[in-house]
């Protein structure tokens, strides 16, 4: 039961982005709605911070616990010191440690090749910026499919780890081979004396 739930684990996604790219982020969320509705993912970004909450503490909390971190890359994103110095650097640390998957999403043309995430596989295909696609829906569909594949991989790996850590139940323990006990037969005249034999042994003794 627990292993089955692990297979259906909802993967939380963190959006790291510039508010100047908010409309593009909203469009990406729309294309990820089918994954959210099917229970594969849930998304979080700073617009979900409630009034009165300490924004830096809430951001750090989610940044430390999510499984997937999307970096929505543009010149405005790279220019934000908080995004670059805090969110990007912590995201890369977690990616290198194997505790999160970081996926750069190239929204607009910019010089991102020297960034800490430049060695990671970016979306959409070939790192072509979303705004340069003739049909942006095709770009976002490509991104959604890439994220779906990454999430499925994480869920599979999580399931395999859960199976590996689950102790075998008594029913699933391998059967021990039956110990072979030699039969001793006492015969007096023509009378069989099986004495204290099991039912199975008496069957063998009854053979001519």
Residue 137: per-residue pLDDT: 97
* Residue partners of 6: CB distance under 8 A and separation at least 6: 158, 159, 162
Q: Is domain 2-165 annotated with CATH 3.40.50.10140?
A: yes
Q: What is the pLDDT of residue 162?
A: 66
pLDDT by 10-residue block (mean), the chain, 208 residues: 54 94 96 95 82 73 92 96 91 95 97 94 96 98 97 87 66 58 49 45 41
**pLDDT (0 to 100) of residue 171:** 58
CA distance 115 to 74: 12
Residue 8 is predicted with a pLDDT of: 65
pLDDT at 45: 86
pLDDT of residue 64: 92
Q: How many CA atoms lie within 13 A of 196 on its CB side?
A: 0
Whole-angstrom Cα distance, residue 128 to residue 142?
A: 11
Q: What is the DSSP string of 25-42?
A: HHHHHHHTHHHHHTTSEE
Question: What local confidence, expressed as pLDDT, does residue 202 receive?
Answer: 42
- pLDDT at residue 6, rounded to an integer: 44
User: Crossing angle, helix 55-65 and helix 89-97, to 10 degrees?
Assistant: 20
């Amino acid at each position: 039961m627990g292993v089955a739930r692990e297979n259906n684990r909802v993967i939380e996604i963190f959006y790291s982005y510039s508010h100047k790219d908010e409309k593009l982020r909203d469009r990406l969320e729309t294309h990820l709605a089918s994954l959210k509705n099917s229970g594969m993912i849930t998304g979080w970004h700073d617009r979900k911070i409630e009034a009165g909450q300490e924004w830096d503490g809430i951001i750090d909390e989610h940044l430390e616990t999510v499984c997937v971190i999307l970096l929505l890359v543009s010149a405005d994103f790279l220019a934000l010191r908080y995004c670059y110095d805090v969110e990007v650097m912590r995201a890369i640390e977690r990616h290198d440690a194997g505790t999160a998957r970081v996926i750069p999403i190239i929204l607009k043309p910019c010089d991102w090749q020297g960034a800490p995430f430049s060695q990671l596989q970016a979306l959409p295909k070939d790192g072509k910026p979303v705004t340069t696609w003739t049909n942006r829906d095709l770009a976002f569909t490509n991104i959604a499919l890439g994220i779906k594949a990454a999430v499925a991989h994480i869920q599979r790996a999580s399931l395999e780890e859960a199976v590996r850590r689950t102790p075998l139940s008594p029913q699933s323990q391998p059967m021990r081979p039956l110990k072979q006990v030699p039969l001793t037969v006492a015969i007096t005249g023509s009378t069989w004396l099986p004495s204290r034999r099991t039912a199975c042994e008496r069957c063998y003794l009854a053979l001519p």
